[in-house]
Amino acid sequence: MTGRRSTYAVVALCLALLVTGAVAGAEWWAGRWKGSVTVLGNWTGEDEERFRRDVLGPFERKHRIRVVYQGSSAESQVLAADVASGTPPDVVIMPGPGELAAYAAQGRLKPLDGLFDPDHYDPVWAPALKGGVHWVPVKVDLKSMVWHPGALTEAEAARIARDPGEWCLAMESGATSGWPGTDWVEDVLLQQAGWETYQKWATGRLPWTDPAVRRAWTTWGDLVGAGDRRRVERALLAPYQDPWGGGRPACVNERLEHQAAFVRAGAHWTEARGRYVHSKAVIPGARPDLTAWEVSGDLAAMLRDTPGARALIRHLADPGTARLGFTANRSVPSGVYDADPMAARIDATLRGRGTMRCWDASDAMPPAMRDAFHQAVLRFLADPRELPARLAVLEEVRERHGKAEWLPSACGSG
């Protein structure tokens, strides 16, 4: 009996310790966190690590609100499933306004009134829809850029641009493969037809069969050698992040790349002392009388109005918050980029008043239109003779979407 009593005593002591530990743990948890906020974004890998370290970490330490972040390269599909099941994240960070505009039209997004000052942004970055602002830029990027080695002059870059073999192409991007090609078509249209025609097209008011749109496609195809089986196979399989690296790089001797500002930090362009020219310098038929830039951005929106979500939106809009790259917030002093002349030049284009900026059109379009556009450029690269059929399909998709699903504008210079 003594042994059994000893066993009971040990068990009772263990249970008491477990209960005490659980209570202490609960008290510690309650003291450590004041709440939580769920976030869905498209940043994974190194981008996710940086976002957690530079943005979410300081937020958690300051507000004692735990952030549950989910990163996915198939963000659109994940968000659609979450919304359909009634379990949306508190905050979503998406590239471009087109998909967010569709959710705003459905009443899914909560207005951000009072959480930041919209006057700190050009209205193109944070427009008022349905009586309020529904997203805030977290990170922005400049496009309409053609990168070349520092040893080449702008005139030399324009001369070699007529040779398809000089262009580095890489289309692979997981669920969004094809977007580097849509960037090309968009930019050619912007530079050839001007921002007003571009805006009509990007907001669903210009048919895909319009001669200006068709010309943009054929110009791009001629520049990069659409239909060249060897080049196209490499381009379709090459990851956009690093077409110069890996075991079988898609680009080796090519000297030009049409890509956004983020590539300047890549190993290839760092080694080549890369510089950029405005794309109109190399696009045949570009209008010399205007200068317009294509831009992109990652935008934060709120699907559930909670204290944690509101605090995070304020943090993301705060000009003192650690930045992931370039900002659209004009309250951030321009001098923060003075140590890097190229960065200062890019920043001035992104935030300067009087500069015409137009959203990446596919990012501004409704999701179904965007996805069809991505697929069309891949098919066009493989067989440019199918262009009439591809444009007819895209026009059918455009006609299926009502005005409420499109942004009212895609360009601005405020």
Summarize pLDDT for 211-246 with one digit per residue, the tens: 999 999 999 999 999 999 999 999 999 999 999 987
| Residue 277, pLDDT score | 97
**CATH architecture designation of domain 142-294+359-412:** 3-Layer(aba) Sandwich (3.40)
So where are the chain's domains? 35-141+297-346, 142-294+359-412
Q: Can you give the pLDDT at residue 335?
A: 85
| Length of the chain (residues) | 414
**Do the domains at 35-141+297-346 and 142-294+359-412 have one common CATH topology?**
yes
Separation between Cα atoms, residue 363 and residue 95, nearest integer Å: 7
pLDDT of residue 6: 45
Provide the strand spans (E) within 238-393: 257-258, 275-278, 292-302, 356-359
Among all chains, which residue has been given the structure tokens 């002093």? 333
Read off the tokens for 89: 């994240």
- Beta bridge partners, 91, equal 39, 302
pLDDT of residue 401: 86
Cα gap 299→139, rounded to integer Å: 7
- 35-141+297-346: CATH topology: D-Maltodextrin-Binding Protein; domain 2 (3.40.190)
Q: Report the run of H or E that residue 196 belongs to, with start and end.
A: helix 195-202
Residue 19 is predicted with a pLDDT of: 39
Listed in sequence order, the DSSP H helices in 203-255 are 211-224, 229-237
Low-confidence ranges of the chain (pLDDT < 50): 1-30
The pair of structure tokens assigned to 107 is: 């009443």
Residue 397: CA atoms inside 13 Å, Cβ hemisphere, count?
20
Q: Is the pTM value of this prediction over 0.95?
A: no
